[in-house]
Amino acid sequence: MGVDGLRKSYGDKEAVRGVSLEIRTSEVFGLIGPNGAGKTTTLECLVGVRRPTAGLIRVLGFDPAGRSLELRRQLAVQPQEGTLFPQLRVRETIEMWASFYSQPMDVDQVLSEVGLAEQAGQKVKALSGGQRRRLLLAVSIVGRPKLLVLDEPAAGLDPQARELLWNVIRAHRRAGGSTLLTTHDMNEAAQLCDRVGVLVAGKVVASGTPAELVRDLGGLSTISFTTDAPASLAAVRMLPGVSGVRTESSRGRVLVQVSTKQGDAVLKHVASTPTLNAMDLSVAHGGLDEVFRNLVASASKDSGDDKAGGSDESS
Ligand code: ATP
């Protein structure tokens, strides 16, 4: 399931410009991208609450524009701002949602999974922001959906709630369900998502497993060491894959930081060159956040600054 060639314009502003994504069964797919990249718009088109300008959308075998009841039973959506009934109690809210489905989860189990067991008797209007988000998650999962669509589910959650959220999503995956989520947290994308798509200015600029993206698009390692023979650094600068060498005086020696895509080869050279007399050798590998920063920087350079104003539109 997924979208193919998806486009969406608001007035003359093209927010999504030909996005193709596939979400596989039983995987967690993360959509990452800077503010305004088109993530929410893509999600909204995918779940059928927004009409695309162009493109094909297929979700669990359905075109979401058909608003089929069958699809709605198998699809759960947690928007960034969901509406709940303030006068209902937490347990009543989950029970109400459970009543819409033929085989809902046990309400106590849901309360415990999202960490709201203690608030079960509390009115929704008395919940904190993070607790409201936990409740929105609870009503998303209670119907055992096949596809869970979560727009920035971790926003505003404390570390413990984030851990609970990740556990809920992993349990959903173990039960065979798929998840599509957006996040600004690269650690979350790297740890939780099986695959990620990077959206910049309405276009997918990269996709793959977090490990593939880091291997193929990042992989800048920083090799640090101290030396008392900076003249020998000329050979290091010439090594293939070295993109920068920074030096700084440090307690009678020179602290060196080498940025390179070929960390292993540089490390070997440094460690096996006696004239360098390298000490305090350490290696740090760049992660998904470095890949993300680089992708955003180069995509923004390519596309120019697209700040055309759009009109408000609600469908
Ligand atoms: P964020 O990370 O900030 O949530 P996003 O990647 O989800 O951003 P969208 O909310 O999809 O981005 O917005 C994409 C672009 O479309 C933005 O430039 C935004 O201003 C514009 N946009 C979104 N909704 C509307 C609307 N109803 N009317 C006009 N423009 C809109």
Ligand 1 atom closest to Cα of residue 202? 14
Ligand 1 atom closest to Cα of residue 312? 28
Which residues lie below 8 Å from residue 88, measured CB to CB, with a gap of 6+? 96, 123, 124
d(CA 33, CA 182): 8
Which residues lie below 8 Å from residue 165, measured CB to CB, with a gap of 6+? 114, 134, 137, 153, 154, 157
CB 206 within 8 A of CB 295: yes
Residue 315's pLDDT band, with cuts at 50, 70 and 90, is very low
Tens-digit pLDDT profile for residues 75-95 = 998 876 767 889 999 999 999
CB 107 within 8 A of CB 74: no
d(CA 286, CA 189): 15
Pocket residue to mutate for ligand 1, from 3, 9, 39, 185, most atoms within 8 A of Cβ: 39
Kindly give the distance from the C-alpha atom of residue 288 to the centroid of ligand 1, in angstroms, as a whole number: 24
Residue 69, judged by CB atoms within 10 A of its CB (0-12, 13-18, 19+), counts as exposed
Residue 287's pLDDT band, with cuts at 50, 70 and 90, is confident
Q: Where are the alpha helices (DSSP H) in the chain?
A: 39-46, 69-74, 90-98, 107-113, 129-141, 159-174, 186-192, 210-217, 233-237, 263-271, 288-303
CB under 6 Å to ligand 1: residues? Answer: 10, 13, 15, 33, 35-41, 310, 312-313
pTM listed for this prediction: 0.79
Is residue 312's pLDDT more than 50?
Answer: no
What pLDDT score was predicted for residue 301?
63
CA-CA distances (angstroms) from residue 33 to 144, 232, 253, 264?
Answer: 28, 42, 42, 31
Section 270-290 average pLDDT: 88
Is residue 303's pLDDT more than 70?
Answer: no
Kindly give the distance from the C-alpha atom of residue 31 to the centroid of ligand 1, in angstroms, as a whole number: 14
**7 in helix, strand or coil?**
strand
CB 68 within 8 A of CB 62: yes
DSSP letter, residue 89: B
Tens-digit pLDDT profile for residues 90-149 = 999 999 999 988 899 999 999 999 999 999 999 999 999 889 989 999 999 999 999 999
Pocket residue to mutate for ligand 1, from 10, 44, 51, most atoms within 8 A of Cβ: 10
d(CA 299, CA 183): 19
Using CA positions, which residue lies closest to atom 9 of ligand 1? 38
What pLDDT score was predicted for residue 259?
85
Give the chain's length: 315
Tens-digit pLDDT profile for residues 169-226 = 999 999 999 999 999 999 899 999 999 999 999 999 999 999 888 878 876 788 999 9
**Distance, C-alpha 44 to centroid of its chain:** 16
At residue 78, φ and ψ (nearest 5 deg) are -115, 105
38 versus 101: the higher-pLDDT residue is 38
Residue 165's pLDDT band, with cuts at 50, 70 and 90, is very high
Kindly give the distance from the C-alpha atom of residue 45 to the centroid of ligand 1, in angstroms, as a whole number: 12
Which residues lie below 8 Å from residue 307, measured CB to CB, with a gap of 6+? none
CA-CA distances (angstroms) from residue 113 to 5, 22, 72, 167, 232?
Answer: 37, 28, 23, 8, 58
Kindly give the distance from the C-alpha atom of residue 53 to the centroid of ligand 1, in angstroms, as a whole number: 15
Kindly give the distance from the C-alpha atom of residue 203 to the centroid of ligand 1, in angstroms, as a whole number: 13
CB 200 within 8 A of CB 299: yes
